[in-house]
Amino acid sequence: MQTITRGNDQYTTVSADAIRWALREYFQLHNAEAVNRTFDPDTDRYTFKDEKCSAEKFIDDDLFGYMDAKKDKDNKDATVKRRGALEVCRAISLDPYWGDVAFGSKGGEKGKTSIHQTQMHLTAYQYAIALTPAHLKQPERAALLLDALVGIRHVGGNHSRFLYEFRPESIALRLTPDPSPWILGCFKRVGEEVGCPDLERLIHAGDVLASEVWVGGKIAQTPYGQVLRDLGVAVFDGVKAAKDAAKAKLSLGVAAG
């Protein structure tokens, strides 16, 4: 397991590349006609509809970017690339990692026995994404990304023997003209539950407008959910309901733009 130190504790982490892989998989399964790069698990290979790539034609080229590195002694600018419009943070566990390990063994003929260990962490992970729709060749694709966020099946690197549900238990969405997201890492473990004291503080301070925020999921049933409602935040019991409300607002903004 990948680990990172924060303060005096060690936490497990999932790379942004693994999360991007999961989002790519979602689009491959649900928007196949609009995807350029597809992965075949049977052959463990990627295929392209158009190796030249096109952000105008394909949603994955538009969101995630691409680079086609070429060697051309007569043209130093032969490499074709696009910086992805979508930015993804590394996921960090909400709980410290104390080194839980499971041991296993396999018996058999002499010389064919094996002993192995598996690191384990019973926790939830927090990560963030940021996207400016105007940076997309087709801004309406931002709404499809919201669908993907609540539809992730698994992150890249998961072995087929294990199932880890990576969909959000709670979600906070912000639609704003502010150049900074402000709400990254707003969830924290508070006792046995998950709270959002930083988000509450930011709204109280006026740095984040309550009208720009949609919150949904398990956190709605905590005291933090009620505090956010009292502050004017749109709070929903379900993650999908919060996503749909933000998606409707986003679609209106894109249409108006």
Q: Give the Cα separation of 57 and 50 in Å (integer).
A: 10
Q: Which residue has the tokens 């890249």?
A: 156
Mapping DSSP to helix (H, G, I), strand (E, B) and coil, where does residue 116 land?
A: strand
Fill in the amino acid letter for 95.
D
User: Which string of b and e fits 77-88 if b means at least 16 CB within 10 Å?
Assistant: eeeeebebbbeb
* Residue 173: Cβ-neighbour burial (10 angstroms; 0-12, 13-18, 19+): buried
Q: Are 15 and 6 in contact (CB under 8 A)?
A: no
pTM: 0.88
Of all residues in the chain, what percent are helix, strand and coil, respectively (each to 5)?
30, 25, 45
Report the helix count and the strand count for the chain, using DSSP H and E. 6, 17
Q: Which residue has the tokens 């105007």?
A: 134
Q: Are 151 and 12 in contact (CB under 8 A)?
A: no
* Residue 80 pLDDT: 79
Task: Show the tokens assigned to 127.
Answer: 């990560």
The pLDDT tens digits along the chain (257 residues) read: 899 999 999 999 999 999 999 999 999 999 999 999 999 988 889 999 998 899 999 999 999 999 877 666 666 666 778 899 999 999 999 999 998 998 888 777 777 778 878 888 989 999 999 999 999 999 999 999 999 999 988 886 556 666 778 899 999 999 999 999 999 999 999 988 999 999 999 999 999 999 999 999 999 999 999 999 999 999 999 999 999 999 999 987 655 44
| Residue 69 backbone phi and psi in degrees, to 5 | -80, 125
Q: Are 170 and 216 in contact (CB under 8 A)?
A: yes
